[in-house]
Structure 1
Amino acid sequence: MTDTVSASLPAVIELVDEYMYRVLKGADDSVLVIGELMGALTEPNAEVSEVSEGSVGKLYPLFGDLSDIVDGFPFDYADGTQMIAQREIRDAAWDWLTTARNTDWLTIYIDRWTERIAALPTIEEGRPFRGIAG
């Protein structure tokens, strides 16, 4: 990791933790909470806004992919769409908060969730959302 990413990692963890706890509390719509988190990750003057490299910079698109489940493309689960999106987001929140915080945990978390989202069936003949390496 670069010095900027290393210096900002505790701030990113604290920020994401706050939103993930909100997801698990269930008082708010989890899709909206993830949208708010994505906004918080890009807010100007926030300590985390300078983080764009390495694994930390992959959080925004990962959370975007999770929230995109409700948009109907490339996923289309009909009446189950909202439920599936909320399940995936809750699982991601639980995983975030229970993953051991060591030097490799963020990379492992991002890789695991990138693969899980890519494995979701899509309306395009069941093909993955995007390549796992993408």
Structure 2
Amino acid sequence: MTDTVPPSLAAAIELIDEYMYRVLKGAEDSVLVVEELKGALTEPQSEVSMASVGELYPIFGDLSDIVDGFPFDYGDGTEMIAQREIRDAAWDWLTMARNADGLKTYVDQWTARVAALPTIEEGRPFRDIAR
């Protein structure tokens, strides 16, 4: 990381890196790893501010929600789709630029990708991504 990365952002990146490596290693259920990550992101930590992870939490929440069946319902393929999306998110995370611009690009890309997932509500996208 460069000196231009704020300490709270650097700490957030390092924290999330640990979980994304676990996802890609494949030794654990990636949905459970993301659930753990969500818990870690909400723990009060002096190094990681909510400002640095605020837009990431909903992305990881939406990815882990795929297996819950609402608002997504992919029948027999649900678990496979959740695992694929989480692995893709982990790969993209670990290959992004390690700075604020990389984080913004990641958030924008994954906000749009999750929003585009068809839902059980007549196939409509999950969220309106217009900001």
C-alpha offsets along residues 29-50 of structure 1, whole Å, 9 cap, x if unaligned? 00000000000111134522xx
SS at match of 1:104: helix
Q: Which amino acid aligns with 2:89?
A: A
> TM-score scaled to structure 2, two decimals?
0.90
Q: Which amino acid aligns with 2:50?
A: S
Q: Give the number of aligned pairs.
A: 127
**How far apart are the structure 2 equivalents of 1:133 and 1:16?**
26
Counterpart AA for 1:123: I
Using the alignment, how far apart are the partners of 2:45 and 2:84 within structure 1?
32
- The Cα RMSD (Å) is 1.6
Deviation at 1:56, TM superposition (A): 2.6
Confirm or deny: 8 A CA contact 1:56 1:106 kept in the other structure: no
Q: CA deviation at 1:103?
A: 3.6
> Matches of 1:90 and 1:62 in 2, distance apart?
13
Amino acid at match of 2:85: E
Q: Distance in 2 between matches of 1:98 and 1:45?
A: 25
Measure the CA separation in 2 of the matches of 1:66 and 1:133: 19
Runs (5+) with no aligned partner, structure 2 = none
Measured in 2, the distance between the counterparts of 1:21 and 1:115 equals: 23
Which blocks of at least 5 consecutive residues in structure 1 are unaligned?
Answer: none
